[in-house]
């Protein structure tokens, strides 16, 4: 059984004015997502500013999300690191906290070889029993999981089950599906490529867009799975201007700005990320309003 099918939100981490995590607001966001039909919550991913959370904050956020979600949808914990030892520790703790699955980004900065990636993911997988979704985002990590590597891992390590593909390379993803086929759970990591990846056998998306349009993102995926390919494609194309605006600066700068424009009061970003440039925020506001999202 797949970890999830449909739309998983890569949820933001709301902050108070003093920079602490706003757990009351996080609870509100989780409830709103589930009520809107979101199929899984990804906590402490890139969009959740995991890179600037302390270990304690990271684990506390996972525990809070698991407890508050209370089994309504799967909770997927981001526990990746450029240190295999650290990723093992975070993954073990996330399993103890009751997470349903793990999302593990490739080791960043180290620029591991493919052999190194196999060892990295295998060591983490052997430390836990949870299903693992690899996260391939070379534009951020400088490290690319080659199709043969991903296929090897899902075939030889029992709890490595899937991949969030954000390479943007459709040819590479097609080759992965040729090699792995039904043995891998494919999830889009790019909101502008959801339908193309579904056409290659994908199950859904781990989405930034879902933070501001959860029902829309869920429905876009489900239309495809229900056989309404044209309707799903139309939704994908309609969302492109908003998606482009949500990525006109580095994620999660625009999506936090968007939520604040919606009156969600998710707070600021932690340095080194900074507030959105004024001209880009106006572009974002226009894209949101054109899409039908009310801004304050």
Q: What is d(CA 30, CA 69) in angstroms, rounded to the nearest whole number? A: 7
Helix axes 23-35, 55-69, angle to 10 degrees: 40
Q: Which residues are catalytic?
A: 135, 164
Spatial contact of 268 and 15, defined as CB atoms under 8 Å apart: yes
Q: What is d(CA 273, CA 113) in angstroms, rounded to the nearest whole number? A: 29
Spatial contact of 7 and 38, defined as CB atoms under 8 Å apart: yes
Give every CB contact of residue 74 below 8 A, 6+ residues apart in sequence.
3, 4, 8, 39, 40, 41, 100, 101
Q: Supply 270's token pair.
A: 């932690």
Place of tokens 């493919």: 114
- Residue 215 belongs to what H/E stretch? helix 214-225
What is the per-residue DSSP string for 236-268? HHHHHHHHHHHTSSSTTHHHHHHHHHTT-----
Q: What is d(CA 295, CA 20) in angstroms, rounded to the nearest whole number? A: 25
């Amino acid at each position: 059984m797949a970890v999830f099918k449909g739309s998983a939100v890569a949820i933001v981490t709301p902050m108070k004015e003093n920079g602490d995590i706003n757990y009351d607001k996080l609870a509100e966001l989780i409830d709103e997502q589930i009520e809107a039909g979101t199929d899984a919550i990804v906590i402490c991913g890139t969009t959740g500013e995991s890179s600037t959370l302390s270990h304690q904050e990271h684990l506390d956020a996972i525990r809070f999300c698991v407890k508050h979600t209370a089994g309504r949808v799967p909770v997927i914990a981001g526990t990746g690191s450029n240190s295999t030892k650290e990723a093992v520790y975070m993954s073990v703790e996330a399993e103890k906290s009751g997470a349903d699955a793990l999302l593990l980004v490739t080791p960043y900065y180290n620029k591991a070889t493919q052999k190194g990636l196999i060892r990295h993911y295998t060591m983490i997988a052997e430390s836990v029993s949870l299903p693992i979704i690899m996260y391939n985002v070379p534009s951020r990590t400088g490290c690319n999981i080659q199709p043969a590597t991903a296929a090897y891992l899902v075939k030889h390590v029992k709890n490595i089950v899937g991949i969030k593909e954000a390479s943007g390379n459709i040819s590479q993803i097609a080759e992965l599906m040729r090699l792995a086929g039904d043995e891998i759970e494919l999830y889009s990591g790019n909101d502008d490529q959801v339908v193309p990846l579904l056409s290659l056998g994908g199950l859904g998306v781990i989405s930034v867009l879902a933070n501001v349009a959860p029902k829309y993102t869920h429905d876009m995926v489900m239309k495809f799975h229900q056989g309404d390919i044209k309707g799903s494609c139309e939704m994908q194309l309609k969302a492109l201007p908003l998606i482009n605006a949500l990525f006109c600066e580095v994620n999660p700068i625009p999506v936090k700005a968007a939520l604040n424009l919606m009156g969600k009061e998710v707070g600021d970003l932690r340095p080194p990320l900074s507030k959105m440039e004024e001209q880009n925020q106006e572009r974002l506001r226009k894209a949101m309003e054109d899409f039908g999202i009310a801004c304050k």
